[in-house]
Amino acid sequence: MKTIAIYSIKGGVGKTAAAVNLAYLCAQDGARTLLWDLDPQGAASFYYRVKAKVKGGARGLLQRNGELPGRIKATDFPNLDLLPADLSYRHMDLLLDESKKRKRAFGRLLEPLTDDYDYIFMDCAPSVTLVSENVFRAADLIISPVIPTTLSVRTLNQLSAFMEHPKLRDVRVMSFFSMVDGRRKLHREIMENLSQRRKGILRSYIPYSSDVERMGIRRAPLPEFAGRSAGGHAFRLLWREIKARIEDGGDGNRA
């Protein structure tokens, strides 16, 4: 089982779009896949038409260890299940703080699923909190979308600084450019510049595309309803590259 967290300190960068589409593509490859919607807003659940509600809420999830399997919902697509969001996830930080394994609670929750899934994707809310720490500890790989702006260097730096923590050294980090506007010279320059200076930046990127926005209307992953669109194509290339890197193993691709 590989656990992949889609994470960024910032909101609105395309995390949920990536989590929803990558998990879908992963399942399409035949891998048993679970998408855990950790954002109380429940956007990923919404895209999959699953009600953002979990029996017992965040408290129920954390208290009764091992009962996570009973809260999983099948999506409409083969091999892909979803653990929905719940409004009570807003209080997750507090609850984690009270719990015994403050930083390893998620990891423990996911343990019983080891044999059931090949990949687990976590769609995270933007923050640096106990929740994110739990996510980092549970993850094998963190994928971080970056919008090519002059500030993106800072965002990447913040993440790398965080990942220097000794307990997190085994976690791989990859970044990709999101919402790229190919017509803007600035975007192209920043991308070229950053890709040369840093490891762990994926070559595939996701263009700015109204197809991605249409996901909210269609309530389905992009490759499902617009597989041939530029956006659909971009996500497929992105997933292929990520998977190749995972299978390659190795390290040295720290952002």
Partner 1 sequence: MVSEGGGALRLTFYDSFDWRLHRAGLSLRLEQPSRRPAKLCCARQGTGEEDCQDVAAVPRFADDLPAGRLRTRLQQVGGIRALLPLVTLRGWRYRYAVRNEDGKMVARCYLEQWRPASRRYAGSAPVGLVRLEPLRGYEVDTAAVAELLRGEELERTGIDLLQTALELVGRVADDYSSKLDVKLQPEEDAVVAVRRLLRSQVDVMRANEAGIRHDLDSEFLHDFRVAVRRTRSALSQIKGIFAEPALAPFRDGFAWLGAVTGPKRDLDVHLLQFPEQQRLLAPGQSADLLPLRLLLEQQQAAAGAEVVAALKSARYRRLMRYWQTFLDQGGTEFDGANARQPAAGVANSRIWRVYRRVRREGRAISADSPPADLHELRKSCKKLRYLMEFFQSLYPRNKMRRAISHLKDLQENLGQYQDQTVQLANLRRHSEELAARGGEIPVPTLLAIGALMDRIAGAHQQTRAGFARRFAAFYTPANHRLFRELFHTRGPSMADQP
How near is the Cβ of 74 to partner 1 at its closest, in Å?
Answer: 4
Binding to ligand ADP by residue 54, rule CB under 6 A? no
- Give CA–CA dist 41/25, Å, rounded: 23
Q: Quick check: 16 binds ligand ADP (CB under 6 A)?
A: yes
Question: Residue from 121, 177, 208, 235 that binds ligand ADP (CB under 6 A)?
Answer: 208
- In angstroms, the CA 200 to CA 163 distance is 13
φ, ψ dihedrals at 66, nearest 5°:
85, -5
Name the segment binding ligand ADP (CB under 6 A); options: 8-16, 77-85, 99-107, 113-121. 8-16
| Beta carbons of 2 and 110 less than 8 angstroms apart | no
Number of residues that bind partner 1 (CB under 8 A): 12
Query: Could you tell me the two tokens for 223?
Result: 């490759």
Of residues 2, 10, 53, 71, which one binds partner 1 by CB under 8 A? Answer: 71
Instruction: Encode 140-179: b = buried (16+ Cβ within 10 Å), e = exposed.
Output: ebbbbbbbbeeebeebbeebbebbeeeeeeebbbbbbbbb
CB 50 within 8 A of CB 73: yes
* Minimum gap (Å) between residue 188 Cβ and ligand ADP: 16
Paired strand residues for 83? 36
The length of the chain, given as a count of residues: 255
Minimum distance of ligand ADP from residue 215's CB (angstroms): 6
- Considering the rule CB under 8 A, would residue 37 count as an interface residue with partner 1? no
Is 52 near ligand ADP (CB under 6 A)? no
Per the listing, tokens 């399409």 go with 28
CB of 92 to ligand ADP, least distance (A): 17
Minimum distance between the CB of residue 113 and partner 1, rounded to whole angstroms? Answer: 13
Q: Does 216 bind partner 1 (CB under 8 A)?
A: no
Write the binding mask 29 to 48 for Mg ion: x where contact by CB under 5 A, - elsewhere: ----------x---x-----
Q: Which alpha helices (DSSP H) does the chain contain, by range?
A: 15-28, 43-47, 57-63, 92-98, 105-110, 130-138, 152-163, 185-197, 210-218, 222-225, 230-248
CB-nearer residue toward ligand ADP: 80 or 113: 80
Does 48 bind partner 1 (CB under 8 A)? Our answer is: yes
Using CB under 6 A as the binding rule, whether residue 212 contacts ligand ADP is answered as yes
CB of 66 to partner 1, least distance (A): 17
* Residue 53, token pair as written in the block: 């509600």
Name the site residues for ligand ADP (rule: CB under 6 A): 11-17, 43, 178-179, 206, 208-209, 212-213, 216
Name the site residues for partner 1 (rule: CB under 8 A): 32, 48-51, 71-74, 76, 81, 219
